[in-house]
Amino acid sequence: MSPWPGLGRRLWWLALAAPLLAGLDRAPLTPLGQGPRLLDDQLVQTFFLLRGPRPAPADPVILAIDADSLELGELLAPGERQASPLWRQMGPWPWPRALQARLAAHVLEQGAARVLFNIEYSQPSRFGPADDRAFVATLNPWRQRVHLAAHFGVREEGGVQESRLRLPIHPLGAPGLTTLLQSPRGVVEAVPGQGWIEARLGDFPPPLPRPMAFLVRPAPPPPAPMGLNFPGPAGTMPRVPAWKLLEAPPSTWRGRTVLIGVTAPGLGDLQETPFGPMAGTEIQAVAVANVLQGRGLGRLPPAGDGLLLLGWGALAGLLLRRPASAGGTLQLALALAGGVLLAGGAAWAGAQLRLPLAALLLAPVAGGGVRAVGQGLAESRERAYLHQVLSRRVSPTLLRDILRSPGPLWNQAVGRRARCAVLFSDLVGFTPLSAVLEPAELFALLNRYFEAMAAAVLEQEGLLDKFIGDAVMAEFGVPRSRGDAEEARAAVRAALAMQQRLEALNVELAAAGTPPLKHGIGLHFGEVIAGNLGSSQRLEFTVVGASVNVTSRLEGLTRLFPAHPILVSGDLLALLPEELEVLPLGSHRIKGWPVPLEVYALQGLRPAGAAPG
């Protein structure tokens, strides 16, 4: 008898406690804390995506050195560029610092509260000393309201890490630290707090630069990092292209903070955010807006996190002890997890507070899951077996076969030789379309396509083996065969149905303004090895062998014959010589196949009793 039921009942509380202990490791400094930290980051990104974009704040305004400003030579005629003293000097980056200073001076003259340069000036201008002198002279009247960028970085040479703080060489207002903190997944998430500054910059001579976002208020930065509350994706924050500076009315700048920096993607200053890649200048603008509005994301102090995790662990443990069945325990665990998600989302959206959500979420799931497993094994070994089987993705035909004759064919890593028809279907030219679709649109389109293709296979009692990217693999004749000819016939009918359903789907897509889809289908009949592949924890019933590779290559040949989306091999045609309308396409060398393969374009099924043409 398995010892797991007793262990599950006695030790499920360890599973409950492990995520809570991991949640105390906020840095994270140990491997135990890395998992919850990664999940926390993913949950925060999900919160942003579910919340969606919000109206952009009016302050600050980005004076953007964008792609158009860097390519005025291509956008404007020479005569047009001469009409403006700014346009004459705009071109490929970098621009003279004198020109950059005039941009800042213009917005300050129009009433801007301050100017923050997200441009590094730690080295002399490549245009010479005169350019540096002109930069300082132009901005000197507003010297306390102009802040230049300071950057901190760590470089490793010869196994030794060297910290570097690059400060501006121009004596204007207090420099602003542009360094931002990233999550373990590389997503920009926070502005450093005073604790981070003292820990990382404490060895440099004072005064230490404050984060650029906190230059807009007199108070020092908070001790802990300020999480970034992004209003939306790239392009959300208000901006004025540098080349259109003179067209903006004075009200654009009056009383506002202005960030000057590069936003052109070609210059490589893109960083990952919950809404996707964003220019560093726009991220700094988000940080400034968070400070001005008091909308930055915060966290409880470590002691507060500890009390919250301890209290939640005690409450969840008491509640999870009550259900008497595995189903009841699991339902309660999921209910507790759902409550945590709702509470965490409310705290994030309403109070701008990030909770240790992953630990709070995983604790009841892990503890309740272990207890439910123990209860389930004690209740019924058969129920556990069915739960394991039904957790795998199977077609209805395969599921009926499992329930009719369960055995080693389905739950052991065994294989056997079989003859079957193999079908491969793959979308043609879908990669360029997927690159321009939004993720939600892409998945919705693929799901509609897969739904139609899968139905065609299952109606012919085929085995829907797997989806590979935008491809479908199916077999007819495993695990049970109705005879070679019948299985070949079913594969042909499925392929024709797939083509008809794609045409119907394309009619719907055309009405919605979406480009039509096109696929290629390959059909071959031969010997395969059918069985379970995987590990002891998860097995997948599939087929392997040369016939699978031949079918895949056959589908690939449809690219050479775009007018014929369904290609069949001579081996499959030999089973149905009087039934198929085909067009010979000659012999083709197939990689991994010893002899040339006779290839035919499938045009349809002949009516019953019709003679070959």
Helix (H), strand (E) at residue 605: strand 597-605
Across the range 58-64, mean pLDDT stands at: 94
pLDDT at 413: 53
- Are 604 and 565 in contact, with CB atoms under 8 Å apart? no
- Choice between 416 and 485, residue whose per-residue pLDDT is larger: 485
Burial 56-69 (b: 16+ CB within 10 A, else e): ebebbbbbbbbebb
pLDDT at 506: 93
The pLDDT value recorded for residue 100 is 94
Phi, psi of 238, deg, nearest 5: -60, 140
The overall longest dimension of the chain from CA atoms, in Å, is 97
Query: What are the strands, taking DSSP E only, across 158-236?
Result: 160-166, 176-177, 181-182, 188-191, 210-211, 226-227
What is the mean pLDDT of the segment spanning 309-314? 88
Q: What is the pLDDT of residues 291-310, one digit of tens each?
A: 999 889 888 888 888 898 89
Closest CA to 366 of 358, 355, 377: 358
Across residues 330-342, what is the average pLDDT? 89
Q: By C-alpha distance, which of 469, 465, 435, 463 is closest to 449?
A: 469
- What is the rounded average pLDDT of the residues 565-591? 93
Pairing, β 239-241 against β 597-605: unpaired
What's the mean pLDDT in 586-608? 88
Question: Do the beta carbons of residue 110 and residue 173 sit within 8 Å?
Answer: no
pLDDT digits (tens, 9 = 90+) for 351-375: 888 888 888 888 888 888 888 888 7
Q: What is the pLDDT of residues 71-81, one digit of tens each?
A: 887 888 877 77
Q: What is the pLDDT of residues 279-290, one digit of tens each?
A: 999 999 999 999
The answer to which of 30-39, 142-151, 182-191 has the lowest mean pLDDT is 30-39
Q: What amino acid occupies position 523?
A: L
H/E stretch holding 257? strand 257-262
Name, in order, each residue with C-beta under 8 angstroms of 379's C-beta and a sequence gap of 6 or more. 325, 326
Residue 109, SS3?
A: helix
Encoded tokens for 238: 């208000």
Task: Give residue 350's pLDDT.
Answer: 83
Q: Inform me whether the pLDDT recorded for 394 exceeds 80.
A: no
Cα(26)–Cα(274) distance, integer angstroms = 20
pLDDT at position 27: 65
Give me the numbers of helices (H) and strands (E) for the chain, helices first please: 21, 23
Task: Indicate the range of 169-178, 213-222, 470-479, 539-548 predicted with least confidence.
Answer: 539-548
Token reading at 470: 């935008």
Residue 332 pLDDT > 50: yes
* Helix-helix angle 129-139:97-109, to 10 degrees: 10
Structure tokens at 12: 């499920």
Q: Exposed (0-12), middle (13-18) or buried (19+): which is 167, by Cβ within 10 Å?
A: middle
Q: Which residue has the higher pLDDT, 574 or 2?
A: 574
Question: For 235-258, what is the mean pLDDT?
Answer: 93
Asked whether 155 and 162 are in contact (CB, 8 A), the reply is yes
Give the predicted TM-score (pTM) of the model.
Answer: 0.58
Angle in degrees, CA 34, 234, 438, rounded to 5: 80
Place of tokens 């556990």: 384
DSSP code of residue 217: S
Higher-pLDDT residue of 434, 47: 47
* pLDDT score at 367: 85
Confidence (pLDDT) at 28: 61
Where does the pLDDT of residue 613 fall: very low under 50, low under 70, confident under 90, or very high at 90 and above? Answer: low
Mind listing the pLDDT tens digit for each residue in 498-551?
Answer: 999 999 999 999 998 888 999 999 999 999 998 887 766 666 778 899 999 999
pLDDT at 10: 64
Average predicted confidence (pLDDT) for the chain: 85
For residue 423 the two structure tokens come to: 């079908």
178 and 118 Cβ atoms separated by less than 8 Å: yes
CB-hemisphere CA count at 13 Å for 487?
A: 25
Least reliable range by pLDDT among 131-135, 243-247, 361-365: 361-365
The mean pLDDT value for 477-485 works out to 90
pLDDT band at 13 (very low <50, low <70, confident <90, very high): confident
Lowest mean pLDDT among 362-366, 401-405, 415-419, 426-430: 401-405
Of the chain, the end-to-end C-alpha distance in Å amounts to 67
